[in-house]
Amino acid sequence: MDASSPRDLHYYEPANGHGLKHDPFNAIIAPRPIGWISSRDTKGNVNLAPYSFFNGFNYHPPIIGFSSTSWKDSVQNIQETGEFVWNLATRDLAKQMNATAAHVARDVDEFAIAGLTAVPGKRVNVPRVAESPVSFECKLSQIIQLQAADGTKVQGWLTLGEVVAVHIDKAMIKDGVYQTALARPIVRAGRRGDYFEIKPDAMFEMVRPD
């Protein structure tokens, strides 16, 4: 395709609606890692919930973050205690991860709902998911309320945390290298329940120009 044969584009401005059956925004920015976040409130109640807006943002120190589209228990807990844990969601844990997305009362333990094992953290007072092959213990860096281009505050909060401890199943490490696809992580796509599984045969390599 070149300039002489332009694409037939679907154009829209988000403020006026997208005109499609499903909002394509989160399907286009895909796949996205899942922020499977465990936290604890000041009363000791444990929370475990998945967030589809999640990623890593810095190497040194390692900083990860997730965005909540409303003020949810996870954000409240992290604001109160300054701690949380990220757990890798895999194909084997997909149903359990999905079960923790249920809207339940603040004092309900999602670990119990999903039949998962809570293991105490080493650097934070928040449990990790024992069944998950990778977990990051984190200390709160910032909670930022998002805003529109005109400065209007929106109902979205970006929670950033510094990774202070890492747990990796040694079976995921070969010749000193962590094998991303070996854990079969699942990542979020579009609509209300679309996911992808990362598999070894989907990987390719390119040498950086520098």
Q: Domains along the chain?
A: 23-198 (2.30.110.10)
Are the beta carbons of 70 and 78 closer than 8 angstroms?
Answer: no
Mean pLDDT per 10-residue segment, the chain (210 residues): 72 88 79 93 96 94 95 95 97 96 86 96 98 97 97 97 96 93 89 83 84
| CA pseudo-torsion sign 118, 52, 39, 45 | negative
Q: What is the pTM of this model?
A: 0.90
Phi, psi of 139 (to 5 degrees): -105, 135
